[in-house]
Amino acid sequence: MSRQLEINPLNKDAFAPFGDVIEIENAERLMINDGTAERYNDLADIDVASDGGRPIISIFRGRRRRFDPSEPIEINMMERHPLGSQAFVPLQDAPYLVVVARIADHIGPDDLYAFLAQGKQGVNYRRNLWHHPLLVLNDGHEFLVIDRGGPNDNCVEQYFTPKQGYAQLFL
Amino acid sequence: MSRQLEINPLNKDAFAPFGDVIEIENAERLMINDGTAERYNDLADIDVASDGGRPIISIFRGRRRRFDPSEPIEINMMERHPLGSQAFVPLQDAPYLVVVARIADHIGPDDLYAFLAQGKQGVNYRRNLWHHPLLVLNDGHEFLVIDRGGPNDNCVEQYFTPKQGYAQLFL
């Protein structure tokens, strides 16, 4: 049993229930450094202090999930980080996929929302938001990730049951 | 009176007195997400909690500082942020310049160190480190910046005196 997920373009309004879109577009421009740089300030709500947490910076490099681009990508699980937000900002200008769900104890394929993010758009998942792990379209696509380091378990995974089935993304 | 600054390639060892180089090279690789992503974890010491500070994410877009590439770039001031570290990670793969000095109350052109960073290298300036504002070589070069938001003044600038002169960078 599978459900085909509609893929919507990513923008701040559509993504507001889930977190922040980190992009210059529609952000306020501040001139700094004596006019030699533009600053687009404070673009995401970094929420990593729970339970003695601290912000950490990492680089993720995504591997492709299918070898034939005509095949759908299958979504059969989601995860959430109860102790901190998690931001992904692409380091190469290439599109990628974002799959999220509203906060709930248990979710299934019918609860998912999919977005196509452009290479100049990062996303910041709110603390505890259900999301799918990194879904790159270009093998080796790299992201700067700002999330939480610290004590206690900060990852909950949920695999869909056979009865729930899975979701498919066609591009 | 001017001094020509030697420009060295950026690497972790050379930059260790000043902060972190944020890059995959020589970082430990962790496989995550069921083998579909590599994580290079915790690449910088984010130190932004002083005086009620919090981490913020911004995008900086640098403007070129000279119109004729054969002209030197002149360094006549430095700045430091006494309350927090500041990380810059390039969002396009292009080289840029980094100018820093060891921690001291007052500095001049003779105290400067210059590095050529590659587009796959970010830098994280330690809290209170003297550094020059963003020095891009490509007009419009963008960076993700992770620094401190919060109360109290977090920027100290020092302009060199006429007696001190300035430093020049030739590329």
Q: Which DSSP letter does residue A167 get?
A: E
Measured CA to CA, the distance from residue B153 to residue B169 in angstroms comes to 30
Which chain B residues have a beta carbon less than 8 Å from that of A44? 56-57
Residue of A74, A147, A44, A25 lying closest to B61 (CA atoms): A25
- Cβ-based neighbour number of residue A109 at 10 Å: 20
When CB atoms are compared, the residue of B44, B60, B91 closest to A57 is B44
Tell me what ipTM this predicted complex has.
0.95
Measured in angstroms, the CA of B61 and the nearest CA of chain A are apart by: 5
List domains and CATH numbers for chain A: 2-169 (2.60.120.480)
Q: Which of residues 25-64 of A touch B (CB under 8 A)?
A: 27, 32-44, 46, 48-49, 54-63
Summarize pLDDT for A130-167 with one digit per residue, the tens.
999 999 999 999 999 999 999 999 999 999 999 999 99
**pLDDT, mean over chain A:** 95
* Three state DSSP letters for A73-115: EEECEEEECCCCCEEEEECCCCCEEEEEECCCCCCCHHHEEEE
Which residue type sits at A7? Answer: I
Looking at residue A70, its pLDDT comes to 83
The answer to whether the Cβ–Cβ distance between A58 and B65 falls below 8 Å is no
Measured CA to CA, the distance from residue A52 to residue A75 in angstroms comes to 33
Model confidence, pTM: 0.96
Looking at residue B19, its pLDDT comes to 98
Residues 6+ apart with CB under 8 A from A11: A21
Summarize pLDDT for B106-116 with one digit per residue, the tens.
899 999 999 99
Summarize pLDDT for B11-33 with one digit per residue, the tens.
999 999 999 999 999 999 999 99
